[in-house]
Amino acid sequence: MITAKSSPALELRTTHSGKIKITNWNKSKIVMTATFVSLALLTVYGFFALDYKDIHFAQATIDTLNNLKLVFLQPSLNNFSLGEALYQITLTVGLGFLATIAGAVLSLFIALFAARNLSPKPIANTIIVIVAFIRAVPTVLWVLIFAIAAGLGSEAAVLGMLFHTVAFLVKAFAESFEELDDGVIEALRASGASWWHVVTNAVLPSAATSLLSWTFLRFETNFTVAVAMGAAAGAGGIGFELFMASSFYFDVREVGFITYAILLVAVLLELTSTRLKKRYLMKEAVR
């Protein structure tokens, strides 16, 4: 029988059903609990320390609900035409598509050398460290870095998204390659197959579905990033129109229309991704 005196790191609690629940208070759990409690207390203190001045919460709540009603229930276009809106959405999708396709092609070749079962470990580890550093820097910072050389515009946005896309997909593709059974690779090598034959006949066919999934996932991410970069990097597109409508001339109805347009495109991308993956999986099953 375990008692409270048997271990100082154990806390015994009795549940409603009468069962004894043992909680192991190790060092990591104590640190995590203390961190969460500290953050919660700082959050509460922040709410009380804010200078609210002459804000009337009742009126502010009514105004917020009214704005939400205008955004989501009464969307409209007032400052540009529907044709212009479609053009801006197409431009945003194009920016994301260009960064994704170029990044996927580059990542495919780099990932072959980043996979530990296909490349020497020193080379693979070096590539993994480099792409980890690139991924640690947010996309918007890479866009701003490239904007210094290329200037604000679509070029900087594509280069910044491309840089981060390569770093993301290299890790994803390399992990997909590493999931292949080592016995298959060893069998091909024992039969005299070259490194390129192993890649084309075993690695790529086995990982094709995973590569397709990761690529479409990144495409959806790049679309949302392209929306943000439309304003931050001056890349244009629907993101720039959203920025103008929300902060320059504050047309909440237009904000609602643009929000619904972005949501519609995101849903269409997800449906396209799902349909293509199902179609590819059915072909693989037939084979």
287 residues of the chain, pLDDT tens digit each: 444 444 445 555 555 555 655 566 778 888 888 999 999 999 998 888 877 777 777 888 888 899 888 888 888 888 778 888 899 999 999 999 999 999 999 999 999 999 988 889 999 999 999 999 999 988 888 888 888 877 777 888 888 899 999 999 999 999 999 888 888 888 888 888 888 888 888 888 888 888 988 999 899 899 988 988 877 776 778 888 888 888 877 888 898 999 999 999 989 988 888 887 777 655 555 55
3-state SS assignment for residue 11: strand
80: CB partners within 8 A, 6+ apart: 241
Tokens 């949501």, residue located: 263
* pLDDT at res. 283: 57
CATH number of 81-286: 1.10.3720.10
Task: Please calculate the CA angle 126-127-133 and round it to the nearest 5 degrees.
Answer: 95
For the chain, which residues make up each domain, given as ranges? 10-47, 81-286
Residue 177 contacts residue 199 (beta carbons within 8 Å) = no
* pLDDT at res. 122: 92
Q: Please state the pTM of the whole predicted model.
A: 0.76
Local structure of residue 191 (DSSP, 8 states): T
E strand intervals along 3-83: 10-14, 20-24
| C-alpha pair distances (Å), 251 with each of 67, 77, 247 | 10, 9, 8
Tokens 């993994």, residue located: 128
3-state SS assignment for residue 14: strand
What is the CB neighbour count within 10 angstroms for residue 140?
17
Dist CA 39 CA 44 (whole Å):
9
Q: How far is CA 17 from the centre of its chain?
A: 43
